[in-house]
Amino acid sequence: MYVAVKGGERAIDNAHAFLAEERRGDPAMPDLSVGQIAGQLKLAVNRVMAEGSLYDPGLAALAIKQARGDMVEAVFLIRAYRTTLPRFGSTVPVETGQMACIRRISATFKDLPGGQILGPTFDYTHRLLDFKLAAEGGMPAAPEAPSRPGPVPHVTALLDRDGLIQRETDSGTPAPDLTRDPLHLPASRALRLQALARADEGFTLALAYSTQRGYGRTHAFVGELRIGMVRVSLDLPELGFAVEIAEIELSECETVNQFTGSKTEPPQFTRGYGLAFGQNERKSLAMSLVDRALRWRELGEENIGAPAQDEEFVLMHSDNVQATGFLEHIKLPHYVDFQSELELIRRLRAEAAK
């Protein structure tokens, strides 16, 4: 007979206890430490920091542990924590030209000031399962070269000196904050980049890929990809000068895009820009392609109706915390709405049968 849907509170408690048990897994196996996650699953930690918009490897590792490795859930945990943090101010823009690079490559010049540094990359590895990793065992240390003195200028700065690439100017306006103001469209490039920096990696990747296959093609070359530590400084009004407060790891990508000119702009190279926390190569690369595709209006290019050119489409659907929440909410009870649909369909069918 009728089972009233009572007992929701107890069911929720029990489900959460079950979840906690499943998260821990076999108690005979050692518990995974946050330090192990931060140290050995660093790229996962980086992704959670980037899409969570919070630079804290320890918390990101904790979120991954709590989320049982579900990356979007981990991003959500970090976002929900981040939103409660007080804001003291904005830092001075980081100087990526001064980055201590562990990796720096250019696909546009064979050699260049500062050199090509491969760094810790999967590129050129053969994707063969390494069964040695399944067994316990130490690793031989990687050979080390002395750090190379001298500046590592941006590739685009070299092109800029010759006037070959569109000059980016500082608008002088304070950076907008997507998390403190509702998104208004059309969005400035700064705001678009902010949204893309926290956008889902998979979504950004798919959009970037679509531009390569002709849906808003932008002819991108990787002018430069650099990964390394940069210093973060904050202006302290009481002191009257900026104080270095932290060092963070960033991935920065600048694409150099062919541009044959338009009614408003002369032929020149243009750029797409990508920046993400940590070593986050795929994300920063994809972001720079999408950024460039979204710039069609300011450059007077044709809008061919490609998804990656559509600012509203991209910005409204790039956030995985929003997307997953709304997608998964259809698991919630909808029986009131469904009931009204049932009645409607029955009525329409009765009408049609007449």
Partner 1 sequence: MTDHAYNFAYLDEETKRMIRRAILKAIAVPGYQVPFASREMPMPYGWGTGGVQVTAACLTPGDVLKVIDQGADDTTNAVSIRRFFQRTAGVATTEATTEATLIQTRHRIPETPLTADQILVYQVPIPEPLRFLEPRETETRKMHALEEYGLMHVKLYEDIARHGEIATSYAYPVKVGDRYVMDPSPIPKFDNPKLSDSPAIQLFGAGRESRIYALPPHTRVVSLDFDDHPFTPSKADHACDLCGAAESYLDEVITDDLGSRMFVCSDTDFCRTRREAGQVGRLGGTLEGEAA
Contacts with partner 1 by CB under 8 A lie at 1-9, 11-12, 76, 79-80, 82-84, 86, 179-186, 312, 316, 321-322, 324-329, 332-337, 339-344, 347-348, 351
d(CA 254, CA 227): 12
User: What size, in residues, is the chain?
Assistant: 354
- Token pair for 175: 């950076």
Q: For partner 1, give the closer residue by CB, 251 or 320.
A: 320
Q: For partner 1, give the closer residue by CB, 139 or 332.
A: 332
Q: How far is the CB of 176 from partner 1 (least distance, A)?
A: 11
Q: How far is the CB of 312 from partner 1 (least distance, A)?
A: 6
Q: How far is the CB of 246 from partner 1 (least distance, A)?
A: 23
Name every residue whose Cβ is closer than 8 Å to that of residue 81 and which is 6 or more positions away in sequence.
54, 59
Query: What residues does 257 pair with on adjacent strands?
Result: 220, 270
Terminal-residue alpha carbon distance, the chain: 35
Q: How far is the CB of 1 from partner 1 (least distance, A)?
A: 6
The per-residue DSSP string of 176-242 comes to: P-TTTS---SSPPHHHHHHHHHTS-HHHHHHHHHHHHTTTT---EEEEEEEEEEEEEEEEETTTTEE
DSSP state of 277: E
Q: How far is the CB of 75 from partner 1 (least distance, A)?
A: 10
Other C-beta atoms within 10 Å of 290: how many? 30
Q: For partner 1, give the closer residue by CB, 145 or 332.
A: 332
- Give, for 257, the enclosing helix (H) or strand (E): strand 241-257
Q: How far is the CB of 10 from partner 1 (least distance, A)?
A: 10
d(CA 64, CA 73): 8
Distances (CA, A) of 265 to 115, 143, 163, 268, 298: 32, 48, 13, 8, 9
Q: How far is the CB of 87 from partner 1 (least distance, A)?
A: 10
Q: How far is the CB of 332 from partner 1 (least distance, A)?
A: 5
Q: For partner 1, give the closer residue by CB, 6 or 132.
A: 6
Q: For partner 1, give the closer residue by CB, 107 or 190.
A: 190
Q: For partner 1, give the closer residue by CB, 7 or 25.
A: 7
Q: For partner 1, give the closer residue by CB, 245 or 342.
A: 342
> At residue 6, what is the residue type?
K
Q: How far is the CB of 327 from partner 1 (least distance, A)?
A: 7
Q: How far is the CB of 48 from partner 1 (least distance, A)?
A: 14
Q: For partner 1, give the closer residue by CB, 111 or 181.
A: 181
Q: For partner 1, give the closer residue by CB, 3 or 29.
A: 3
> Residue 251 in contact with residue 229, Cβ under 8 Å?
no
d(CA 145, CA 140): 16
Q: For partner 1, give the closer residue by CB, 209 or 338.
A: 338
d(CA 283, CA 274): 8
> Residue 294 in contact with residue 300, Cβ under 8 Å?
no
- Token pair for 27: 């108690």
- Token pair for 307: 């998804």
